[in-house]
A and B are shown apart, each in its own frame.
Chain A
Amino acid sequence: MKILEAKNINKYFENPVSFHVLKDISFSIDEGEFVSIMGKSGCGKSTLLYILSTMDTQYQGDLFFAEEKMSGKNSKELAHIRNAHIGFVFQFHYLLPEFTVLENVMLPAKKLDLLNHTKIKKEALGKLEMLGVADQAFKRASRISGGQKQRVSIARALINNPKIIMGDEPTGNLDSKNADNVFKIFKEISDLNKLSLLIVTHDLDFAKKNRSHHRNGRWTNNITIKLTLW
């Protein structure tokens, strides 16, 4: 099944001058696939990701999530889809600074409201454990290091067992050991639960490191969208 499909997506910025950032982007991601988005700084990778993640609705073209059309849905419906099915890792690790690490991870699950508090807590601690930051669970999110923040935000992205993880350079702040670990985790979940990945990266290496190769790579404008096989 196609988890995500973009059809002829165009995006303009009108300020300060009209600027056509995304030109006719069309591609799709299947269940369990890993797609990376590459390109020069400023070419529009983040902009594309915001559209694909349903956060940005100011675009032309059609976006499908799990074969359901997203374009035209209201903001509340989109918020629910993000909450239940999309895990997002920001380019700059965004946590709520006044909440503990654990609370940060638990929040999206509490919002989803499928499990009770104890189960959510157990899940959250499990994810933190996986990413090697369980010892930070009860600290305030503002009091941990950049790399730890990034891993916590990955744990948060995974908490609701999403269908797809979207990451904007999710390993940008991590040393290679931790970055490898993150991709190992992604791969495990992908194999187990058919998690799809859509990752913006500068880092061509990581694919090589994982002995993957590219298929179906294609240039659109300046953006390279590559399907990577694990």
Chain B
Amino acid sequence: MRVVQFVVVLWLVATFTFALIRIIPGDPIDILLPTQKSNLQAKAKVKEVKEDLGLDKSIFTQYVNYLGDVVTGDLGKDYGSGRPVTDILKKALPVSLQLMLYAQILALAIAIPLGVFTAYRAGTRADRALNATAFGFLAMPNFVLGLLLSFIIGAELKWLPSVGYTPGWLDPIFDSSRTGNFGDHIQSMILPSLTLAVGQIAVYMRLLRSDMIATLQENFITMARSKGLSDRRILWRHALRPSSITLLTVAGLNVGTLIGGAVVVEVIFNMGGMGKAIVIELNEKQYVALQSLILVMAALFVLVNFLVDVLYAIVDPRIRHARAAH
């Protein structure tokens, strides 16, 4: 059932990106191959593009062929450099995936204890101070923060690399020709992940705080207190899980924001991720490659939210049993 939903969403995204390149005014050939029209080599290229995109066939045939290509994993190529999109992805996707994963983990690792603490101490000076600080960071654009971190901690203090990327554990899985160095990888990822994470912290913290405050009014919390359990146990074992459904939902949806943020962060820290790849293809007006990259990001977004759906059932047994009953 959920798999059907997943496929339908991806189909819609694919259709949308297909339509996009056909809607852009002008001949796709002129756009994709702007400078080389005269010589023989270029003629061959024009022919290749025409055949690849099926431009001489009906729009319907083009569409069916395109969907067939996507399903079989043929995502087209950059007609300027001649690189297939799958090659670009092999290198760029693990960079972005790791960046977003670390940023998400970092944001949650900071926001969850803060959310729990501010809910526990709601209305106190500590609560207000932490909220104000978190919102201060929320207001700071991530390119400003990224440049600051890169300049101060990287270039000036030299505690961490100011720019650049070292492959980690995921890169060799995508591209066997790459080797990772975990220590260097983590060092190269700290500042970019932090830059990307900071904006999320305030959002996650506030969400958890308000749900947690509501949970702490529940009868089962009074019951847990009447059992003589410690506050720590009540907060972490009793209150956190029932308060985390909204957080989980938003963390999933927020992958969209993270994708956007990753583009900026990858450019600032000069990391060869999806963001960087998208910027390159956009500059070169390589719309075929671009649409495939966007399709992959969209698939990623849908996939993450699909996983969030699975997580609901793990967090709340009532959801699990209700689903099993259907």
A and B form one complex: no
